[in-house]
Amino acid sequence: MKKQLFIVGITVLLIAVGLSGCTDKQQADISSLDYSNSQYGFGFNPPEGWVEQEANYSFIAYSPPNLQPLESVMFTVEQAESLDDIYSYADMAVLFIESQPVNSIVSRSERKVNNMNAYEIVYTGDFGWFVQKTKYVYIQKTLLTHFLVIFSSPDYLYDEYNSDFEECLSSFTIV
């Protein structure tokens, strides 16, 4: 009987130590982010060299330096509407995108962002004199915690900057 209580006690102690290690790791990851917004509970590492821009409609916006005036390359973070799941959001977003005659869906797929469920939609908008390519990544951590991270650029610059965006997105954390 004493041996069984000893084994149970050791097991509980090991679980408690393991869980406390997870909490410390999570806090360390959050504190290591270059940008964090404690009011809305998210953070990320912006692409190296990108500069913060005025963001009238989103929480934060970044773009690479030294672009020509019409070369708008940017990523933004917005709080997204909380829907039942990522698929409801994806369906709603596709309907909106396709309602604009200049837009064409390039791809759409489920993905993970830091082990959180996400849905990605890539589309182009052909405005005659230029084509804008946009990637929506809708991230859901809990039923009520959703963010929309958007990368947008002229089509001819998309591949050049998409890897910077993806690196930034891989650090996106919801706290």
Mean pLDDT by 10 residues, the chain (175 residues): 37 34 42 81 90 76 81 85 81 92 95 93 92 94 85 94 94 88
DSSP β-bridge partners for residue 11: none
How far, in Å, CA of 166 to CA of 160, rounded? 11
Strands (E), the chain: 35-37, 42-44, 51-53, 60-63, 74-79, 103-113, 116-126, 131-142, 145-154, 173-174
Q: Tell me the HSE value of 159 on the side-chain side, using a 13 A CA sphere.
A: 1
**Quick one: pLDDT at residue 110?**
95
Considering only CA atoms, which of 139, 155, 12, 129 is closest in space to residue 77?
139
pLDDT computed for residue 29 by the predictor: 52
- Position 88 scores a pLDDT of 87
Amino acid at 30: I
Strands 42-44 and 173-174 turn out to be antiparallel
Which residues have C-beta within 8 Å of that of residue 140, sequence separation ≥ 6? 85, 86, 89, 116, 117, 118, 146
Alpha-carbon distance of 163 to 52, in angstroms, equals: 18
pTM: 0.78
In angstroms, the Cα distances linking 3 to 8, 14, 15, 16, 115 are 9, 17, 18, 20, 39
| Per-residue confidence (pLDDT) for residue 41, from 0 to 100 | 83
Residue 146 contacts residue 82 (beta carbons within 8 Å): yes
In angstroms, the first-to-last Cα distance of the chain is 43
pLDDT > 70: what percent of the chain? 79
- Predicted confidence at residue 66, as pLDDT, reads 81
